[in-house]
Structure 1
Amino acid sequence: MSIAQRAMGNRAFSLVYEKAWRPIFTRGFSLGGSSTADYDRALRAYLARPGDRRVLDIACGPGNYSRDAASGLTDEGRYVGLDFSAAMLAQASRDNRGERIAFVRGDAHRLPFADDTFDTVLCLAALYLIPDPLPVLDEMMRVCAPGGEIIVFTSARASVAALPGADLAAGLIGLRIFGRDELLSRLSALGADHREQTITGVGQYVHARKPKE
C-alpha cells in the first residue's frame, strides 16, 4: 500500500483533508496559479444546477463535492458517494447530511450498482491514487445511463509533470501521472462521445457522455 493510500485510510487525515491539505494540493496542480481552482468553482456551480438526476461520486473522500452535487437535485434526484476508506466515509457522513445524500463503501473496480443507473458519474481528484485505474473508467461507463455524463479530474503529463523523472517521483508516494491522451483514448474505446479535456497545469478535467440508445 502506498503512502497516499495509507493516508486516505487514516481518520486523523480525513479530518484535515478537505479544509487544509486538499486546497493546497489543488493549487499545486496549477503550479501555484489559479486555473484549477477557477475550473473547480465552475464545476461546483455546474453540479449544483437544478435537476432530477442520479449522481454517483466515486472515491468521494470526506464529501468534498457532496453538498454541491446534491443541492440542486429535484424530484427523485439522489446523490451517492462511494469510497473504499471507512475513515473518509465516516467524515463524509458527519459533514454532509440530507435526505437526498447517501454514502456507500465499495471498490471502484467493481461498483455495486446495476448498468445504466446514474445520470452523472464523477471521479474527482482520486483516479491517480487508485491502483489499476483504467478499469475504473470501464465501470463508470457501465453504470452511467445512456445520455448521461462522466466527469473526471486527475493528473496529466503536462508542464513539469512531463519532465524526465516525474513519473518516478510521483510513483514513490503512490501517485500516477496520466498521459494527455490516455483517458480520452480509453473513453473513446468505450464508446463515449462529446469528449472534452481541459489541462490546468499538471491536472486535467475530462467530460464525456454515454451515447443515447
Structure 2
Amino acid sequence: MTSNSEQEIQQKIQLFNIWALFYDDLISSLFYKTLHRRLLDYLTLPKTPWVLDLGCGTGRLLDRLAKIYPDLFGIGLDISSEMLRQARKSRRHAPRLVYIKGNAATLPTADNQFDAVFNTISFLHYPEPLQVLSEVYRTLKPQGKYYLIDWVGIGNDGYQEIPIGAGKIRLYSFSKREEMGKQIGFTQINHYWLLAGVGLTIFEKL
C-alpha cells in the first residue's frame, strides 16, 4: 500500500519533470541567480570543498560554486530525472560535478562526507523534514555547514501547510527551523533575509 508521503513524492516528480523544460527561463533563472549571489555573502568553504546540493534542479548553484572554487567537488541530488538530464547536458565542470537521482530523506551518501550541504527552495517540498535534517547531519563532516534557503512561514507556531496541485508545501519560520535543527543536533549559526519572504538559515554540525 502506498503511503501519503510516497504519493506526494510521485506527484511532485511528475510536476518537476514537466517544470524542468522551463526551469531556466528568464524569470526563474533571475530569481535563483539572485538567491545564489546573495548566498555567497555568507558562505565559508575550505580550499578543496566537498559539497552536496539537495534538490539541485538543473545544477545552476553547483555550476556557480565550481567557477568560484576550482578545487571543489560536488554532488547534485534531485528526484526528477528530467531536472538531472538538464543538469548533465552541458557537462559543466565534469568530472568535478556529479548529478544523481535520489530522495533527500534517504541520502545515498557516506557519513561525514561533505563540508557543506545546500538546499534552495526545496525543503518546503519534504513530507518528512526531520528525517531530511537527520540525513543532512549524518552526511556532513564535523564543523560542516548546512545552508537552508526557503520561503519563511508565518503561520501559527511558525508553520504553514499549503495545498498545491502536487501535494503540499510546508513553510517554517526561522524559530521553527532552529527548533527542528536542535532536535537533530545542529547548532544554528544565524538567519538572514535574502529576498522578501525568502530566508537563509545556517546550521553547523559540531
Match of 1:185 among 162, 165, 179: 179
| Residues 1:155 and 1:69: Cα distance change in structure 2 (over 3 Å) | same
1:44-73 alpha-carbon deviations (Å, 9 max, x no partner): 466697820001001101112021122233
Q: Which moved more, 1:93-102 or 1:142-151?
A: 93-102
Q: Does 1:128 align with 2:124?
A: yes
Superposition pairs of residues 138-157 of structure 1, within 5 angstroms: 138-157=134-153
Give the Cα separation in 2 of the matches to 1:195 and 1:96.
34
Superposition pairs of residues 40-189 of structure 1, within 5 angstroms: 40-44=36-40, 51-75=47-71, 77-98=72-93, 99-158=95-154, 162=155, 167=160, 170-173=162-165, 174-189=168-183
Is residue 75–residue 100 contact of structure 2 (8 Å, CA) maintained in 1?
yes
Residue 4 (structure 2) aligns with: none
Which protein has the bigger strand share? 2
Is residue 148–residue 209 contact of structure 1 (8 Å, CA) maintained in 2?
yes
TM-score, normalised with respect to structure 1 = 0.77
RMSD over aligned CA atoms reads: 2.8
Give the Cα separation in 1 of the matches to 2:44 and 2:29.
20
Identity of aligned residues (%): 24
Q: Which moved more, 1:194-203 or 1:88-97?
A: 194-203
Q: How many residues align?
A: 192
Give the Cα separation in 1 of the matches to 2:15 and 2:199.
23
Residue 33 (structure 1) aligns with: none
Residue 22 (structure 2) aligns with: 16
Q: What SS does the corresponding residue of 2:103 show, helix, strand or coil?
A: coil
Is residue 147–residue 200 contact of structure 2 (8 Å, CA) maintained in 1?
yes
Unaligned runs of 5+ in 1: 28-35
Residue 14 (structure 2) aligns with: 6
TM-score, normalised with respect to structure 2 = 0.80
Give the Cα separation in 2 of the matches to 1:191 and 1:43.
23
Q: What SS does the corresponding residue of 1:186 show, helix, strand or coil?
A: helix
Instruction: Report the AA paired with residue 74 of structure 2.
Output: Y
| Residues 1:101 and 1:156: Cα distance change in structure 2 (over 3 Å) | same
